[in-house]
Amino acid sequence: MGRKVHPTGFRLGITKKHQSRWYAEGKDYSRLIAEDRVIRNEVHSRLSHAGVSKIEIERAPKLVHLTIHAAKPGVVIGRKGVTVTELRKDLGELTGKRVKIDVEEIKKPELDASLVAENIAEQLARRVAHKRAMRRAAERTMRSGAKGIMIRLGGRLGGSEMARVDDIRMGRIPRHTLRADIDYVDMVARTTYGVIGIKVWIYKGDILPGEPMTI
């Protein structure tokens, strides 16, 4: 079952929180879901160099509240707040509501699965050997205090004619344990040989009853 269930969806409401937190009914629900997707795509495209990992979205009747988790909050804010002000204005025109943006710094990017996968994708695009990219990323994550990491790549690795899957694992990855705090992401790297899929699992420890949930 662990290979078929999304590690985050498996733990929602137990040790993980939703990244979108609002309520709607009927056609408004599907419309707001699509709007959330557009907002996230817009933020990621405009702040591609800021190391954006997660975007939380909360809604009020006439307010959209975004919390952007980024490794480089200074890039998100910009000089004298110009970048975040322009982003707030454009998202306000897109949604037709007032937009509030908060920026949270990711103090240890090596423990964030999204940023680890993004780093591997950049190395693959520069034609770095996939085994070296995986090993370096895994070693940095373990040195930063993770209890386990697993990285899996799939596609035309190394320019081979036939697609294949390769992975690396260090430490423990208890994918069936609900209390395990596992950060997971899947994304793609676009290389000259085609698209390569990247999956990253990072095990940070257990979340015991009474402790706050993670995003």
Note whether residue 50 is domain-resident. Answer: yes
* In a shared domain, residues 186 and 115: yes
Count of structural domains, the chain: 2
Residue the block writes with tokens 């208890």: 174
E strands, the chain, where? 20-21, 52-60, 63-70, 98-105, 148-155, 164-171, 180-191, 194-206
Q: Residue 156: exposed, middle, or buried by beta-carbon count in 10 A (0-12, 13-18, 19+)?
A: middle
Please indicate, yes or no, whether residues 189 and 177 belong to a single structural domain of this protein. Answer: yes
Residues 92 and 124 placed together within one structural domain of the fold: no
Contact 201, 173 (CB under 8 A): yes
Say if 136 falls within a structural domain: yes
Claim to verify: residue 138 and residue 173 sit in the same structural domain? yes
Domain encompassing residue 169? 109-206
Q: Identify whether 215 is part of a domain.
A: no
CATH code where residue 54 lies: 3.30.300.20
Tokens found for residue 68: 């952007």
User: In terms of domains, do 21 and 98 share one?
Assistant: yes
13 with 97, same domain? yes
- Is the same domain home to 71 and 128? no
CA angle (132 as vertex; 128, 135 as ends), nearest 5: 140
Q: Give the CATH number for residue 119.
A: 3.30.1140.32
Of 47, 80, 105, the residue that ends a domain is: 105
Q: For position 213, what pLDDT does the model report?
A: 72
Total Cβ atoms within 10 A of residue 108: 13
Same domain, 89 and 36: yes
As a whole number of angstroms, the distance between CA 178 and CA 180 comes to 5
Q: Can you give the pLDDT at residue 3?
A: 61
- Does 154 share its domain with 178? yes
Would you state the pLDDT for residue 13?
Answer: 87
Q: What is the pLDDT along the chain (215 residues), one digit of tens a residue?
A: 446 788 998 999 888 999 999 999 888 999 999 999 999 999 999 998 899 999 999 999 889 999 999 999 999 998 888 999 999 999 999 999 999 999 999 999 999 999 999 999 999 999 999 999 999 999 999 999 999 999 999 999 988 899 999 999 999 999 889 999 999 999 999 998 899 999 999 999 998 877 777 76
In a domain, 211, yes or no: no
CA distance 99 to 87: 9
pLDDT of residue 1: 45
- Is 79 in the same domain as 114? no
Task: Looking at the structure, tell me whether residues 147 and 185 fall in a common domain.
Answer: yes
| Residue 4, pLDDT score | 72
Choose the final residue of a domain: 83, 105, 127.
105
- Of 43, 74, 105, the last residue of a domain is 105
Residue 70 maps to a domain: yes
Bridge partners of 63, per DSSP, are 60, 98
pLDDT score at 215: 66
In a domain, 2, yes or no: no
pTM of the full predicted structure? Answer: 0.88
Query: Is 135 domain-assigned?
Result: yes
Same domain, 82 and 37: yes
